[in-house]
Chains A and B, each alone.
Chain A
Amino acid sequence: MAQDREQIVLDVIARVSGVHAASLERDTELVGELGIDSPKALHMLIQLEDRLGVEIGDDETARLRTVGDVLDALARLA
């Protein structure tokens, strides 16, 4: 994925979870470590869709567990 798109993804995850984008690792767990519950998860997904102009299917979201999973999913959709 292009660097700027990757930065957008990290920025959105950081804003939704309230942590610094720089502290996010690929294996950081969305729910367990970033506290992203289902309202926050949907907030994150809709912002990613809006900013990157993609649509993330339910089957795709069901597989997301880590920051790396989100980056990979959006790289596939780009």
Chain B
Amino acid sequence: MRDPDTLVEALEGAARHHPERGIAVFDGRGRHADRRRFPELLAAARRTAERLAAAGVGAGDRVVICLPSSWEWLDAWWGAVLLGALPVGMAPGAVIGTSESHLRKMDGVVEQLGARLLIGSPALVGELAGAGAGAAAAVATALDGLPAAGAAPPWHRPRPEEAAFLQLTSGSTGLPRAVTLSHRAVVHCTRAIEQIGVPPGAAGRERFEALVAWLPLYHDMGLVGLVLRAVFFGWDLWLLPPQAFLARPRVWLDLLGSRGSTQTAAPNFGYQLCVERLAGEPLGDLDLSSWGCAICGAEMVRPSTMAAFVDTFGPAGFRAESLVPCYGMAETVVGISFDRRLQGPRTRPLPAGGGAAGTPSEVVCLGEPLVGSEVQVTAPDGSDLGEDRVGEIRVRGPHLFSGYWGDPAATAEALVDGWLRTGDLGFLHAGEVYVTGRLKELLIVRGENLMPHDLEQVAEAAVGGGGSHRAGAFSVARGETGEEAVLAVEVSEREPAALAEVERRVRVAVGRELGLPLADVVLVRRGRIPKTTSGKLQRGELRRLYLEGGLERLDRAGPG
């Protein structure tokens, strides 16, 4: 059997060669699963494609999918792929409190991509309509609202170099960027990561039977790392909506222990949540001895979390060697490197002179670059720093994205002579990658990327009084939970009661609009947030000042 060259061939191959395998999607509480085999997935995707075609969707059209993890999501995504249209997954909203600003972001994405359709739940479509005649409302529909299938659509046989889908990622302004990924890049990356959790020389597709997932489908690690790997390799996939995992993390572990030889992928925070909620609870009949691979990525991997996870679940048969730390981003489909040694997480001390404030002293090894790709660490002038020196990580290989949709300037900034500038800081040692921090101004909270601009805008609106660049957002590592958001805001108030009221307004606004609690709100005098002479916010400098206690707080002394 020939390896597929495109996503279309991969789905057809799964239906033909693994007709008994398939995907089971659980409800939001993780109680009941609706399982369909790959031939049924293919048939449903074709029916959806016919209805999308009847709604006017054709090859190259962007289709934004704003649904919770569900069969509707998978049908819509694959239906678009079969037409040669470009599906774009987008977060459907926060667990509690859907916000006005999220609806506006949908307008922005639809406008920026010139999307033909936005597919949402009936409730979301109703909310968009109620919020006024925005760009998203104009193209929003529920899957049920699509017209009946007309004549058979022109089935698209993509060439490998054609775009397959778009992935949203954080941008430098208020809007996300859409990463364009070709079939070739996706196929290359998926094949390269087949070897995750497999000793060199062995075959991954015979070693594992099932994937268990709870990551959202709009997340690259959920979509490529779990759904596409299941389809490419004909593995069963047990898919929990994120809320089912967050409500009861034990459901994830029970599936990993009961579905044959299993693997999964989650950010550090997922492993940490299991420890926090389940340590000290009876493990009962939980048997994790057949869980062969636990991929950990999408945010900084913490040695303390990995150790606590092994301590907590070792008695149920979980092995430290199953943990595979990895590194990647949407611009590389999903993967840059993963630990191939299967010895459990390894660490190295931070190289001398390698860290600004807040850099961890022990850094987790994220393994070798994917087969066929290269990683380099460079100085600010672009020169190669070799090994054991901290600089910007660059990646080259066939798994790189084709560009940011409709944004050649951002693409030219990110891709230099065929190398992707990751915006991450790290070092190489013995050919393996270690990430120590970030150059780019981005917050990663629970594995999700957040743009500082979004927090700043909400804060500025909340304090009122006009004028932008009065707020600066950044993240700090707090305890074991990972990164948490901090906002510094310039204010004219001086009275303690007035300052407390400003802080409350900022916290309430960010909570309502972004669903995000703030670790700290730092109130400072006007003009105290560092800016360049041209007025550009210096968030890295702001963070350094905060961590070193150099910000003169109006509300209290010292950094939190």
Residues of A within 8 A of B (CB): 29-39, 41-43, 45-46, 55, 58-59, 61-65
Of A29, A32, A61, A62, the most chain B CB neighbours within 10 A belong to A32
Are the C-beta atoms of A42 and B94 separated by less than 8 Å? no
Residues of B within 8 A of A (CB): 28-29, 68, 93-98, 123, 242-243, 246-248, 269, 273, 277, 446, 504, 507-512, 515-518
The 5 closest A-B pairs by CB, nearest first: A32-B511, A31-B511, A42-B246, A32-B507, A35-B517
Question: What are the residues of chain B within 8 A of A61 when measuring CB–CB?
Answer: 95-96
Shortest Cβ distance from A61 into chain B, in angstroms?
5
Question: What are the residues of chain A within 8 A of B517 when measuring CB–CB?
Answer: 31-32, 34-37
The one of B28, B96, B123, B509 in contact with A64, judged by C-beta atoms closer than 8 angstroms, is B96
> Would A64 and B97 be within 8 Å (CB), given that A32-B512, A42-B246 are in contact?
yes
Are the C-beta atoms of B246 and A32 separated by less than 8 Å? no
Are the C-beta atoms of A45 and B93 separated by less than 8 Å? no
A58 CA to B96 CA, complexed, in Å:
9
Shortest Cβ distance from B215 into chain A, in angstroms?
13
A32 CA to B68 CA, complexed, in Å:
24
Are the C-beta atoms of A41 and B68 separated by less than 8 Å? no
A2 CA to B93 CA, complexed, in Å:
32
Question: What are the residues of chain B within 8 A of A32 when measuring CB–CB?
Answer: 504, 507-512, 517-518
* Cβ-Cβ contact count across A and B, 8 Å cutoff: 83
Shortest Cβ distance from B87 into chain A, in angstroms?
22
Are the C-beta atoms of B504 and A33 separated by less than 8 Å? yes
Question: What are the residues of chain A within 8 A of B94 when measuring CB–CB?
Answer: 38, 62
Query: What are 14 contact pairs spanning A and B, CB under 8 A?
Result: A29-B508, A31-B517, A32-B518, A33-B507, A33-B508, A37-B517, A38-B515, A39-B246, A39-B269, A41-B246, A43-B246, A62-B98, A63-B98, A65-B512
Shortest Cβ distance from A65 into chain B, in angstroms?
5
Question: What are the residues of chain B within 8 A of A43 when measuring CB–CB?
Answer: 246-247, 277
The one of A29, A36, A46, A64 in contact with B247, judged by C-beta atoms closer than 8 angstroms, is A46
Shortest Cβ distance from B519 into chain A, in angstroms?
9
Shortest Cβ distance from B16 into chain A, in angstroms?
36
Beyond contacts A38-B515, A65-B97: 17 other A-B pairs, Cβ-Cβ < 8 A, are A30-B97, A30-B511, A31-B511, A31-B515, A31-B517, A35-B517, A36-B517, A38-B96, A38-B242, A38-B243, A39-B446, A41-B95, A43-B277, A45-B95, A58-B68, A61-B96, A62-B97
* A64, closest chain B residue (CB): B96
Question: What are the residues of chain B within 8 A of A30 when measuring CB–CB?
Answer: 96-97, 511
Shortest Cβ distance from A58 into chain B, in angstroms?
6
Shortest Cβ distance from B504 into chain A, in angstroms?
7
Question: What are the residues of chain A within 8 A of B510 when measuring CB–CB?
Answer: 31-32
The one of B68, B247, B446 in contact with A42, judged by C-beta atoms closer than 8 angstroms, is B247
> Would A41 and B96 be within 8 Å (CB), given that A32-B517, A36-B517, A59-B123 are in contact?
yes
Question: What are the residues of chain A within 8 A of B93 when measuring CB–CB?
Answer: 62
* B248, closest chain A residue (CB): A46
Shortest Cβ distance from A28 into chain B, in angstroms?
10
Are the C-beta atoms of A63 and B243 separated by less than 8 Å? no
* A47, closest chain B residue (CB): B247
A37 CA to B515 CA, complexed, in Å:
7
Are the C-beta atoms of A42 and B95 separated by less than 8 Å? yes
Question: What are the residues of chain B within 8 A of A55 when measuring CB–CB?
Answer: 29
A43 CA to B517 CA, complexed, in Å:
16
Are the C-beta atoms of A65 and B507 separated by less than 8 Å? no
Shortest Cβ distance from A38 into chain B, in angstroms?
4
Of A34, A38, A59, the most chain B CB neighbours within 10 A belong to A38
* A70, closest chain B residue (CB): B96
Are the C-beta atoms of A58 and B97 separated by less than 8 Å? no
Shortest Cβ distance from B234 into chain A, in angstroms?
32
> Would A31 and B516 be within 8 Å (CB), given that A62-B93, A62-B97 are in contact?
yes
Shortest Cβ distance from A68 into chain B, in angstroms?
13
> Would A45 and B247 be within 8 Å (CB), given that A32-B509, A62-B98 are in contact?
yes
Of A43, A59, A62, the most chain B CB neighbours within 10 A belong to A62
A33 CA to B95 CA, complexed, in Å:
16
Are the C-beta atoms of A29 and B512 separated by less than 8 Å? yes
A39 CA to B277 CA, complexed, in Å:
11
Shortest Cβ distance from B227 into chain A, in angstroms?
21
Question: What are the residues of chain A within 8 A of B68 when measuring CB–CB?
Answer: 58
